[in-house]
Structure 1
């Protein structure tokens, strides 16, 4: 994402900078002539942080301004001073100092800042969270407070990020931010355990499924890499898959073979070799692929493809 200059901006400059960084937004200020933004930014990998001190204003992301196929991003807003109101997915939450909430760029949202305020916004790819669409929609525009539950641990961490934004650069900063964002999902899960599909056990299994789907091309994909990415132990991961009457290895293999079968039956990929298709999903041993495919589907990849295109 573009990095904004650390500077003071008037309303028109803020509109231009915000549209560049966040996508098209409708920004209005109660006193346009005196409106000012004091902005500090940092970028670590594909995560951007915006430390903003602004006058009263409102922000709206409208459905007609969201391009089809736009890369999905999440935005985490931490209120440091003043207050704000966030609306998305039919919910409204008020953020006071020490509160944070999550929203997404691919669906409409509204933000209202009725007074001078100071906030930190963290912009990051939605894929970082490894959540299903239902799970993500369940946690938008919900307040996590530094005075309640696990928020007492997480909010101070993000407050420290805001206070030390100038040192957030390089690979260590990327790892730190990824860790913080994944831990935040655990906080939301603890807040939403009572909602169907959002208890912490289901969440881990769904996160693992999402991570596997996104990383099938990695030949090293396995229990350890998944557990590391989700910040859980391998034992916890195996337990969640065992509860679903499967194993991590079986699930990965099944997903890979299903994708290979889909591509073998796709007329647009008819000219691609079986080995090319298999490599796309992290399998590079042709004989191993043939054996696994035949075990799963009762025929070899070549026989399956020949049958599909003869019918």
Structure 2
């Protein structure tokens, strides 16, 4: 493994400030040293960092469009956010957001992988994210047994993560992370409304039929043998509408295909039509609203 670039504390403090909004490194150990490796993969940034004891403080509102998760590889870290404190041992990871204050305390030499990625990759509501921040997920429990070894391999092979195929791999890894987080929310019983069987059935149906341009609340309700009113009520309980979820599901699929080199030769309109959206002007407007740039600009930036 490449040992990375070495830093004094002054250099490290500058690196942290330059890399993350409103974040400061402080309280270093005497003769502090650190090494770090960095890889940008599309819209995702990965940092493999090995440091002496110190503290990282985010004391102000930052970029609400970005989230982070830290995977502890060596040593122990303490993460505090949203009035929760969690201790992460090797093999534990936790999610946190730059939207609200947090701090990380490393009381001993440590190594961690920090993944910095767009908030909309999570496909979770704000209140769901609020419930899971600073909550450790272990490689020894549930789906963590699958996800943690994968991200440990990403850390070991950071230098190999180059090119559009690496982007597809990292996106798939983050999709797995979302599944692990959602599973953990259910396990700890913090989201009783997510126990709605009808809601889960509707979501699964939408994801399996998002390519159907005729997909609508009425077709979903008919397939699930419920009334349209009942369907709307279950989605309303989750803080969303059926139409919004369908739109979001389709845009996520288009977003993923535009970044996939396998579909490089397909037009944006062809990809959009495959996912149930045939109006090119609507797709462009909706995509820009969701992701901050046009489909063509996004594809050009990611696949260049």
Same fold (TM over 0.5): yes
**1:25 matches 2:26:** no
Which position in structure 2 is the counterpart of 1:296? none
1:253/1:156 Cα in 2 relative to 1: closer, same or farther (>3 Å)? closer
Distance 2:199 2:129 in 1: 11
Distance 1:127 1:240 in 2: 31
Distance 1:155 1:202 in 2: 31
1:81/1:254 Cα in 2 relative to 1: closer, same or farther (>3 Å)? closer
Which position in structure 1 is the counterpart of 2:161? 168
Distance 1:136 1:205 in 2: 22
**1:46 matches 2:33:** no
Structure 2 contact 123–178 (Cα < 8 Å) conserved: no
**1:98 matches 2:53:** no
Aligned-residue offset at 1:242 = 8.5
Distance 2:86 2:196 in 1: 23
Aligned-residue offset at 1:281 = 3.5
Is 90-99 or 177-186 further displaced after alignment? 177-186
1:224/1:37 Cα in 2 relative to 1: closer, same or farther (>3 Å)? farther
Unaligned 5+ runs, structure 1 = 213-221, 226-234, 257-277, 285-311
Is 19-28 or 155-164 further displaced after alignment? 19-28
**1:55 matches 2:56:** no
Structure 1 contact 9–38 (Cα < 8 Å) conserved: yes
Distance 2:96 2:225 in 1: 28
- Tell me the number of residue pairs that the alignment of Structure 1 and Structure 2 aligns: 230
Superposition TM-score, scaled by structure 2 size: 0.66
Distance 1:206 1:146 in 2: 30
Q: How far does the alpha carbon of each residue in 1:33-73 deviate from its partner, in whole angstroms, 9 at most, with x for none?
A: x111110111100101100000000111012xx35xx3521
**1:151 matches 2:144:** yes
Which position in structure 2 is the counterpart of 1:192? 185
Structure 2 contact 56–105 (Cα < 8 Å) conserved: yes
**1:37 matches 2:34:** yes
1:199/1:16 Cα in 2 relative to 1: closer, same or farther (>3 Å)? farther
Structure 1 contact 83–117 (Cα < 8 Å) conserved: yes
Superposition TM-score, scaled by structure 1 size: 0.64
Structure 1 contact 189–198 (Cα < 8 Å) conserved: no
Aligned-residue offset at 1:245 = 2.5
Structure 1 contact 89–137 (Cα < 8 Å) conserved: yes
Unaligned 5+ runs, structure 2 = 213-219, 236-240, 248-278, 286-304
SS of the residue corresponding to residue 119 of structure 1 reads strand
Q: Give the root-mean-square deviation of aligned CA atoms.
A: 3.7
1:163/1:43 Cα in 2 relative to 1: closer, same or farther (>3 Å)? same
Structure ID, larger Rg: 1
Aligned-residue offset at 1:119 = 0.6
Q: How far does the alpha carbon of each residue in 1:184-240 deviate from its partner, in whole angstroms, 9 at most, with x for none?
A: 1211222221222344868868989xx99xxxxxxxxx7049xxxxxxxxx9xx869
Which of 110, 129, 141 is the matching residue for 2:103?
110
Distance 2:226 2:95 in 1: 28
Aligned-residue offset at 1:254 = 10
